[in-house]
Structure 1
Amino acid sequence: MRGDLIRVLSTIEEKANELKLDGYEPDVVLLGKKAYEFIREQLNEEFGDEEEVFELSGLKIRVVEELEGDAVVADSKNLGLGPGGAKRFKVVL
């Protein structure tokens, strides 16, 4: 479903741009297990592979099971140093 894949990639880029405007340098996408599987399925369907996904929109992927169907675009150097540095969004409803 190309539309779902485009929606997710657009949201990742939008959140990364928001972080850049706030002075951060986003470098990672934290994905819940459900969100990762959804994105992987969409990419494999689109490109006909059965590959793992390690990067989206130039950002490294890390799977964090506790996020479930959500994702977080983050500046890994600023996580935990106070407010900001990350933007969360829903991937799978």
Structure 2
Amino acid sequence: MPTKEEVLEIIERAAQELREEGLTPDILLAGQEFMKHASGAVDGLGLSVYVVKELEFDAVIADSRYLGQMRKASKRISIEPLLVEEDVWEEIEKL
């Protein structure tokens, strides 16, 4: 299971990429599974957080002023690769 620090790092990296584009990320749309792993980690980020069940293990961080107007106004992130990596390491340990 990904740690809250890993999830926070993914969110912060995506937010930084948006800031480098001149945007101000202020909203996080997150799937229920994403929030299970991120609970508590997103509280101190100053983002408005909305759970969208269809996103499952993914989340979208965005500048709400331009969401839907500009393609680069948001970044989609996922914790699924972290879960797959964990499964791989568990399989390796079994060998």
TM-score range normalised by the length of the shorter chain: 0.7 to 0.9
Q: Which residue of 1 aligns with 2:24?
A: 25
Give the 5 Å matches for 1:28-67. Answer: 28-40=27-39, 43=40, 55-67=43-55
Provide structure 2 residue ranges, at least 5 long, that are not aligned to the other structure.
84-95
Query: Displacement of 1:91 after TM fit?
Result: 2.0
SS of residue matched to 1:25? coil
Paired residues, what number? 81
Q: Post-superposition, which runs of at least 4 consecutive aligned residues in structure 1 deviate over 6 A?
A: none
- Kept in 2, the 8 Å contact 1:26–1:59? The answer is yes
Q: Which protein shows a greater Rg?
A: 2
Determine what percentage of the aligned residue pairs are the same residue: 38
Q: In angstroms, what is the RMSD of aligned CA positions?
A: 2.1
- Kept in 2, the 8 Å contact 1:71–1:89? The answer is yes
Between the two structures, name the one with larger relative contact order (CA 8 Å, sep ≥ 6): 1
Question: Under a length normalisation based on structure 2, what TM-score does the superposition of the two structures give?
Answer: 0.73
Query: Displacement of 1:29 after TM fit?
Result: 1.1
Provide structure 1 residue ranges, at least 5 long, that are not aligned to the other structure.
44-52
Q: Which residue of 2 aligns with 1:90?
A: 78
